[in-house]
Amino acid sequence: MATDIRYQILIDGKADAELTAQLTEIDVQESVRKATSTRVRFVTDVCKADLHLLKDPRLQPGVDRLLSVLVSLDGKSVIISHGVIVDRTFELVEGGPGSWVEVYTTDRRIEMDRACQGKGTYTGKVSAIVRPILDKYKFKTDIDVKEDATYTQDKQTLNQPITDLALVRLLAGQAGVEFWIDYKRGRTKVEETAHFKPSPKGSQSGPQGLLPAALSVSAAAPVLQLNAGSGKATMLSFKAKLVSETPNKGNPARVNIDDATVERSQVPEPTVDRLGKKPPAKENECQVLSAGDLAEAHRRQTAALNDAAWTMTASAETTVRMVCGLIRPHDVVKVRGVGKIDEGDYFVDSVKHAITQSDHKLTLEMRRNALKTAAEAGALGLGIGGF
C-alpha cells in the first residue's frame, strides 16, 4: 500500500516544528559497535549582519543538548539518531540565500568516555558489574550474558584504569556479546535502552522539513536485488571481499602459577550462528593466552574465533524507496543477483543514511560467515557466475 516517509527533529525529546521546517540535509552513521554520529544542516537567513540560528540555544554545543532524528513510516515512528550536540559549523553567503548552519551529534556513549575512573577492584559476575555502570547514565538496561564470568579477589581480578565506556566494551569483547543503544520516543523524552548481549540474528508526523516519499511497504524481510530487469532492482551497487586465512579453531591455554604447568582447552570451531553453508578454508589454529583461569581463556578464544568467522565483507548502496523501508544495524538482509556463490543472507554491520529533499540513500556495510562453494553452485546447474 502507499505510504509516506517523513522526518522530524526533536530537541531534548520534544518535537521542534521550526527546526524541522528548516531541514535541508541529514547524514546519520549508525553501526553495531560504534557510537551513532549525525550531521544535520538547517537553512538560515542573514538578519542585520547576524546569522539566524547561530546563537540559538537549541543548537549550542557544550551544554549536552540532545538532538534526535525521527523517521515516520506509515504512521510508525523510528528514531534513527539521538545524541549530544558536540560541534557546530556554518557558512554565510552574500545576500542571505544559501546560508546554512550545521550541527554534529554523537550518542550518549560520549558521556561514558569523558573520564578515566580509576576504580578499585571489581568482583562478581560481569552482568552485575556492567549494570550499575549503565544505570549511572540513566539507561534502561537489557543484559544477557550466556557465559557470565565471575571476578574474585583471589583468582581473577578486574581493575578499571580506563573510562566506563572502555571497560564496558572490553567486557563485551571478552564475553562475546555486543554493546549498543537504541531509542524509543516516550511522552516527555526519548527512552534509551543499553543492550549488553549477543546481537539478534534478524532484528529489524508533525511538520515536514523534507518532502515525503511515496513508499510501498512489504512485510517481508528486505531483499537487495541486482540484475532483476528494468525497474525491479532494489540495489544500486554491490561490492564484496572474501578472505580465507583467518583462525577457525583454537587451543586456549593458561599457565598455572602454582606448578608452572600449562592447562589447555579446545574450541573446535566458531559458535556464532552461520548464515548459510560453511565456507571452504584450510585449518587455521590460534591460541589465546590468559592470566585468568582456563574458563576465561576459553571464553576469550571463543569470542576471538567468532569475530574471525565473518570472512566475507560487502558494501551495498540502495534507497528507502527501492527497499520500501528502513534497514538498520543488526538486520539480516537477503542479497540476490550477485552470483549464486555469493548471494544469500548478510548481517548488516553499519548503515549510513544520506537524507536530502529528494531521497533517502542507504549505504550498507555487511558481513557474512557463509558461502556456497563452486562445486555446490555447479551441482545446482547454476555455474559460478550464473544469475
Number of domains in the chain: 4
Q: Which domain holds residue 32?
A: 2-107
Domain-located, residue 37: yes
Residues 6+ apart with CB under 8 A from 30: 36, 80, 81, 328, 329, 350, 351, 353
pLDDT digits (tens, 9 = 90+) for 21-58: 999 999 999 999 999 999 999 998 766 555 667 888 99
Domain boundary among 165, 199, 233: 199
Q: Extract the C-alpha cell encoding 16.
A: 521542534
For residues 329 and 348, is the Cβ–Cβ distance under 8 A? yes
Residue 1: the pLDDT is 30
Does residue 210 lie in a domain region?
no
Q: How far apart are the C-alpha atoms of 138 and 152, rounded to whole Å?
A: 27
Those residues whose C-beta lies under 8 Å from the C-beta of residue 378, and which sit 6 or more positions away, are 384
Do 83 and 162 lie in one domain? The reply is: no
The per-residue pLDDT for range 109-148, each reduced to its tens digit, is 999 999 887 777 888 999 999 999 999 999 999 999 987 8
pTM, two decimal places: 0.86
Regarding whether 356 and 335 lie in a shared domain, the answer is yes
State the Cα–Cα distance between residues 58 and 35, nearest whole angstrom: 22
Cβ atoms of residues 207 and 20 within 8 Å: yes
Q: How many CB atoms lie within 10 A of CB 188?
A: 9
Asked whether residue 223 falls in the same domain as residue 338, the answer is yes
Look at residue 229 in the predicted model and tell me its pLDDT.
80
| Residues 170 and 225 reside in one and the same domain | no
- Per-residue 3-state assignment (H helix, E strand, C coil) for 165-205: HHHHHHHHHHHCCEEEEEEEECCCCEEEEEEEECCCCCCCC
Could you tell me if 304 and 318 lie in one domain? no
282 with 339, same domain?
no
Picking from 72, 88, 107, the residue at the C-terminal end of a domain is 107
- Do 153 and 191 belong to one domain? yes
* Per-residue model confidence (pLDDT) at position 214: 46
Better-predicted residue by pLDDT, 387 or 68: 68
Q: How does the average pLDDT of the chain come out, rounded?
A: 83
The DSSP result for 263-293, as a single string, is EE--B-S--SPPSSSPPP----EE--EESS-
Which of 107, 124, 139 lies at the terminal end of a domain, its last residue?
107
Q: Where are the alpha helices (DSSP H) in the chain?
A: 17-21, 109-112, 126-136, 164-175, 294-308, 320-323, 374-379
Write down the pLDDT at residue 380. Answer: 44
CATH number of the domain within which 16 lies: 2.30.300.10
247 — phi, psi (to 5°)? -60, 140
Greater confidence (9 vs 279) lies with: 9
List, for residues 342-375, the tens digit of each pLDDT value: 999 999 999 999 999 889 999 999 999 888 765 6
- 344: which strand partners? 335
Query: Would 207 be classed as within a structural domain?
Result: no
Q: Is residue 15 part of a domain?
A: yes
